[in-house]
Amino acid sequence: MQEILNQYFPNVMSKLPDFYLSIRQTIVMVAWSGVIALIIGVVLGILLVVTRDGGLMENKAVFQLWDKLINLFRSIPFIILLTGVMPLTRIIMGSAIGVKGAIVPLIFGTVPFFSRQMESALSEVSPGLVEAAQSIGNSKFEIIVNVYLKESIPQISRAVSITTISLIGLTAMAGVVGAGGLGDFAVRYGHDRNQTDVTYATIIVLVIMVSVIQLAGNYIARKNTH
């Protein structure tokens, strides 16, 4: 096996510590920014659903405010967002480069996308279920948790997997501007030094990551489908 790897991926094998480091950096960026973005996205998705016309807590002003803000950030290309939030990144993280410097723009780039995914997932809940929960005296919080969230687990799991896969792509883009990770590794060695085996190795690792996430999301969705 070692001989095969040395034959087909000579440049990767000579840079294994850097390759392993880039994988860890990508995982760290996805984990930290993903968890924070998913939490914020869940809250915003719920807010959009319950405050819209005919919603559980209808409030046109709140809905319009968050709806427009989400649309605003979704319309900004991520590569521009990376530089646009640099001052805020420096304040929060103390640096605008490296893994730490990538987390804030990754959150800004992921939250709007996932919020819309959450809104779509929760919108599939039957209004009849909400009305039934109201008729037996459930509070608004109980309805959100036991009806909207519980009944939307399959859709939410798919939304999480899609968002996480998209986030992996954003980390690769962030790597191009100095965030580290697999994107930086592929560009620095695969592109700039024309070492194609580095590019192929990076693609293989990314495909494996995406496949694992997709399989996990599909499994959770199947297990929770009524």
Where do the domains of the chain lie? Answer: 14-223
As a whole number, mean pLDDT of residues 90-107 equals: 85
For 193-208, write each residue's pLDDT tens digit: 888 999 999 999 999 9
**So what's the pLDDT on residue 100?**
85
Most confidently predicted of 2-11, 122-131, 158-167:
158-167
The answer to whether residue 165 scores a pLDDT higher than 70 is: yes
As a whole number, mean pLDDT of residues 54-79 equals: 90
**So what's the pLDDT on residue 226?**
61
The answer to whether residue 18 scores a pLDDT higher than 70 is: yes
Are the C-beta atoms of 93 and 104 separated by less than 8 Å? yes
CATH of 14-223, one of 3.40.50.620, 1.10.10.2160, 1.10.3720.10, 1.20.120.140: 1.10.3720.10
pTM of the model: 0.89
**So what's the pLDDT on residue 204?**
93
Question: If you write DSSP's letter for every residue of 122-163 in order, what string do you get?
Answer: HHTS-HHHHHHHHHTT--HHHHIIIIIIHHTHHHHHHHHHHH
Are the C-beta atoms of 198 and 186 separated by less than 8 Å? yes
Residue 9: how many CA atoms within 13 Å on its side-chain side?
16
